[in-house]
Amino acid sequence: MSERGFNALIAVGLIGFPLYALWLDEPFLITLATRAVVLALAGVGLNIALGIGGLVSLGHAVFFGIGGYAMGILASHAQAFDPIWQGAFTVTGTKSMPVIWLVALAASGLAALAIGALSLRTAGVYFIMITLAFGQMFFYFAISWPAYGGEDGLSIYVRNGFPGMNTLVPVQFYGLCLVLLFAGLALHWQIARSQFGLALNAARQSAVRVETVGLAPYRLRLIAFAISGMVTGLAGALFADLNRFVSPTMFSWQMSGEIMVFVILGGVARLFGPVVGAVLFITLEHLLGGISEYWLIWLGALLLGVVLFAPGGIVGLVTRRGHG
Amino acid sequence: MSLILLAEQVLNGLQFGVMLFLMAAGLTLVFGVMGLINLAHGSLYMVGAFAAAAVAGATGSFLLALVAALAAAAAAGALVEVLVIRRLYGRDHLDQVLATFALILIFSEGTRWLFGSFPLYLNIPAWLSGPVLLPGGIQYPAYRLALIGVGLAVALGLHLLIGHTRVGIRIRAGEADREMIAALGVDISRLYTFVFALGAALAGLAGALVGAIQSVQVGMGEPVLILAFVVIVIGGIGSIKGALIGALLVGVTDTLGGLLLPRLFGLVLDPSAAASVGSALAAMLIYLLMAAVLVWRPSGLFGVRA
């Protein structure tokens, strides 16, 4: 099967699934699918840095968590009618999704610029260890900062609103998340074929050559890292809205690992890799998690198998072409 | 705040630091010799702690528990090296990260399956349970003092092993040029297994020793692993000396930051705000230290290559 055909099949599946769930009268399945779509978006974010730029970031939970807390902080102030800042001008919280998304994008973008500026000074294993360490820093900060729930996290009682929609209806919220996932995929596709993406890809293969033709790999990577962080941050805001809850676990190293697992299970640098990976992850969690409490052992074994024997991931297996 | 409290906290920081050193030394050796990043090093720490808790529970002997921790972690390390890690040496770091992340899942869930989700407890041996009176009137727990001693002894032992023995020569040669030492007839795959098992044994020892002052539970290894990464980034990859100095720096900074920062902010803020800002900043302090080292020296204090 061609990769394009496989991608189209998955896109149709994602659009058609809620109809199937409605027909079965199982609204729970829609929530499950929403989880997969939101996690896929987080993976799409990482895939921009990892797939195109070759930046092995083990700290993307930072941006996921920042997106989550952007939603949590804004919505908690709004639900308590307690302004965030009162001075010469007043900043209030909000329950409006578009505003929350913009704040999540801005905050995670800034964090990605700061973390990227430091960690991109190094490469290879250093980069992996440093991104992992910064992730842990945010995790401990979220735990020890008592203003927004500390270790217990923040609960939001009612899901935030989007103009003209009732986000409390699972299908409508699913549709919203799916549109954003497709937007994220379109962004990845656009970047991959743009001049910027080609230069970034070239920097992954040989930084020296890219420098010789007059481009700065550091700047290319920093921009890619920031965009990547923003997409993952947006996914974090959606994830928090889906659960109506944020907690420091969104910052945990396991979360970073899982986001990377989505990308790898599906196939690195494949456009739909993270989507396939996240759907597979949620499916396995749902099916195996029902059979055995220790389903992560099987996920570990599967992951080990993919890494050792199927470097192109699931998309690579189905489309029978290794990636270059 | 008395000087005695400060001295105690410095000792606590040293104790924390030498335990981080046991973790970081193995990681940095494995990276230096084999070029491998091993996320599952924290699992070996956990294996050591669980083996110690199980054997101590069955026999009541702390020394036997330590022997069991060393043996179990070294055996687990050797097994993992032969089955999985060996296939990863030629791969890029992404594959290494994922495969060792998969190993964490397998180790953690496997341990949960064997021992359950509840923490186990490992008791400090009776002969080390009391306090010791140090010069200056400081009462300090004998066990923690022993940990500092063990950590420093291991550092010295590693220094001698690597600098002054035949195996050490091979390890250094392996770091410098692996094709060459293979061509000279050294069985490189046995050397790799040995180095990996050695690093695993040190992690297992740290797990067992720390397990006696904290609880022994699934997932205990990874936070320590990440701190060991911070240590390595600060000290420089592949350098045992860097690992020791980085570990002591991280240990003391973390402990003193938790003590001093809230008091420092107390001078300018009201007590509750000072406590929250101070503790939040203290939690971030070692990472800020890491960031500062990165700005100043991207390849670490004693690192040679980036």
Strands B131-134 and B138-141: what pairing?
A: antiparallel
d(CA B160, CA B157): 5
Q: Which residues contact B226 (CB under 8 A, 6 or more apart)?
A: A132, A133, A136, A253
- Categorize the per-residue pLDDT at A255 as very low, low, confident or very high, splitting at 50, 70 and 90: very high
Residues of B with CB under 8 A from a CB of A: 31, 37, 84, 87, 93-95, 97-99, 101-106, 108-110, 112-113, 222-223, 226, 229-230, 232-233, 237, 276, 279-280, 282-284, 287-288, 290-291, 294-295, 298-299, 306
C-alpha span between A189 and A197 (Å, rounded): 9
Q: For chain B, what's the residue count?
A: 306
Give the pLDDT score at B105.
94
- pLDDT-based confidence at residue A320 (cuts at 50, 70, 90): low
| Partner-chain residue, chosen from A50, A130, A261, that has the shortest CB–CB distance to B294 | A130
Q: Do B101 and A261 touch (CB under 8 A)?
A: yes
**Average pLDDT score, chain B:** 91
- Contacting B with CB below 8 Å, chain A residues are 50, 56, 58, 118-119, 121-126, 128-130, 132-134, 136-137, 140-141, 143-147, 253, 257, 260-261, 264, 268, 294-297, 299-301, 303-304, 306-308, 311
ipTM score: 0.88
Q: Give the span between the Cα atoms of A251 and A149, in whole angstroms.
A: 14
Instruction: Rounding to the nearest 10 degrees, give the CA dihedral for residues B98, B101, B105, B110.
Output: 110
Contact A174, A27 (CB under 8 A): no
Q: Inter-chain contact A297–B98, Cβ cutoff 8 Å?
A: no
Question: Cβ–Cβ of B237/A125 closer than 8 Å?
Answer: yes
And the tokens for A242? 């889906």
CB contact under 8 A, B98 and A122: no
What tens digit of pLDDT does each residue of A35-48 get? 999 999 999 999 99
Position B114 in a domain: yes
Query: pLDDT-based confidence at A314, cuts 50/70/90?
Result: confident
- Search chain B and give the residue with CA nearest A148: B276
> How many whole angstroms separate alpha carbon B225 and alpha carbon A124?
18
Could you report the per-residue pLDDT of A193-248, keeping only the tens digit for each?
A: 999 999 999 999 888 888 898 889 999 999 999 999 999 999 999 999 999 999 99
The distance of B127 to chain A (nearest Cα, Å) reads 36
For strands A90-91 and A154-155, give the pairing.
unpaired
A253 contacts on B by Cβ (under 8 Å):
222, 226
Residue B290 lies inside a defined structural domain of this protein? no
**pLDDT in the model for residue A225:** 97
Q: What tens digit of pLDDT does each residue of B101-160 get?
A: 999 999 999 999 999 889 998 888 888 888 888 887 888 999 999 999 999 999 999 999
Question: What confidence tens digit (pLDDT) does each residue in A59-68 have?
Answer: 999 999 999 9
Q: What does the pLDDT read at residue B117? A: 87
When comparing pLDDT for A107 and A312, which is higher?
A107
> What's the confidence (pLDDT) of residue A321?
53
Span A279-305, pLDDT tens digits: 999 999 999 888 888 888 998 998 999
Burial A230-256 (b: 16+ CB within 10 A, else e): bbbbbbbbbbbbbbbbbbbbbbbbbbb
Give the model confidence (pLDDT) of A107-154 as tens digits: 999 999 999 999 998 888 889 999 999 999 999 999 988 888 888 999
Task: Measure the CA–CA gap between B198 and B75, rounded to whole angstroms.
Answer: 10
Q: Is residue B247 part of a domain?
A: no
Residues near B103 by beta carbon (within 8 Å), at least 6 away in sequence: A300, A304, B39, B40, B43, B80, B84
Count of beta carbons in the 10 Å neighbourhood of residue A14: 20
Q: What is the 3-state secondary structure (H, E, C) of A251-320?
A: HCHHHHHHHHHHHHHHCCCCCCHHHHHHHHHHHHHHHHHHHCCCHHHHHHHHHHHHHHHCCCHHHHHHHC
Could you report the per-residue pLDDT of B181-217, keeping only the tens digit for each? 888 888 888 999 999 999 999 999 999 999 999 999 9
pLDDT digits (tens, 9 = 90+) for B47-103: 999 999 999 999 999 999 999 999 999 999 999 999 999 999 888 899 999 999 999
What are residue A245's phi and psi, to 5 degrees?
-160, 135
| A222, A117 Cβ separation under 8 angstroms | yes
Residue contact B233–A130, C-beta within 8 A: yes
Question: Domain map of chain A by residue range?
Answer: 3-319
Q: How close does chain B come to A92, measured CA to CA in Å?
A: 22
Range of the domain at B50: 3-218
Place of tokens 């965009």: A227
Tell me what pLDDT residue B304 has: 63
In percent, the amount of chain A with pLDDT more than 70 equals 98
SS3 content of chain A, % helix, strand, coil (to 5): 75, 5, 20
Give the total number of structural domains in chain B.
Answer: 1
Residue A322 confidence (pLDDT) above 50: no
Contact B287 A296 (CB under 8 A): no
> Would you say residue B303 has pLDDT above 80?
no
- Residue B183's Cβ-side half-sphere holds a number of Cα atoms within 13 Å equal to 4
CA distances from B77 to A308, B69, B168 (A): 19, 12, 19
